Amino acid sequence: MKGKMVSFVESKNFGFATGDDGESYFVHGSALCDKTQRSKLGKGAIISFEPHPTPKGLRANNVQINTELTGQKLVEFFTTKSSEPKHGKVLSRENFSTSFFKDPNVGRKRIIDLAQKAGANAILNLNFEKHTFSEGNYRYTMHAFSGQFAVVSETVPFTNESDKIQHQAVIDNVRNALSGETAKLQAPERFAREEQLKSGPGGGEVMAVILALAVVGSILVAILS
């Protein structure tokens, strides 16, 4: 029977395929007839296999990967607390951390916006930290986010060589630019963060100014680059 991989978890070496009969089949990397094809067993791969019923559901045995034209394509943007994506391959990653924000939703939006400006299509290891600041007798909590801006691709079938080459060119451009673009965007955030952490009583107004400068700085960097 033939089928198409609809998901694959790289770290666990398994996924699921939809067969020509419309049923879902469990596919484990160990079921490959040719283990050298393991890197091609990803979402979108076309496979041939022997259906095998088990108490837990349908399983694919003696799996072979169709040698039709396949290549790499960027996955849709996503964020995760994990260091690895559920599917796809991490091609590049760069550490990043934001300054502090009173509203955690604003901080989360900030790191997502900056990741996309850097050309990343994923944020891995997404995490946030809390820090208590004071202004006179007033104490308040602010939030900062950190993670890894990443470029993640997946193996998909292509109908022609031209499309495959075009998608690979996009991946190469984004991958090569990620480090430099991330560094440009990190500089004002790091400066603002350091100033915030040094702020003592009355630092609330200072932090507001620093945050404004950070935003203006990142805009100027984007314009000049």
Cβ contacts of 97 within 8 Å, gap of 6 or more: 144, 145, 146, 186, 189, 190, 193
Q: Which of 69, 94, 57 is nearest to 176 (CA)?
A: 94
| pLDDT higher than 90, residue 142 | yes
Please state the pTM of the whole predicted model.
Answer: 0.64
Where residue 200 falls among pLDDT bands split at 50, 70, 90?
A: very low
Q: Give the DSSP per-residue string, 17-86.
A: EEETTS-EEEEEGGGBSSGGGGGG-STT-EEEEEEEEETTEEEEEEEEE--S-EEEEEPPPEE-SSSS-S
Q: How confident is the model over 151-155, as a mean pLDDT? A: 93
Tokens standing for 197? 């952490």
Cβ contacts of 198 within 8 Å, gap of 6 or more: none
Q: What is the SS3 assignment for 181?
A: helix
| pLDDT higher than 70, residue 187 | yes
| pLDDT higher than 90, residue 202 | no
Task: Specify whether the CB–CB gap between 146 and 101 falls below 8 A.
Answer: no
- pLDDT at 203 (0 to 100): 42
- The one-letter amino acid code at 73 reads K
Q: How confident is the model over 42-56, as a mean pLDDT? A: 90
Domains and CATH numbers, the chain: 2-68 (2.40.50.140), 71-224 (3.30.110.70)
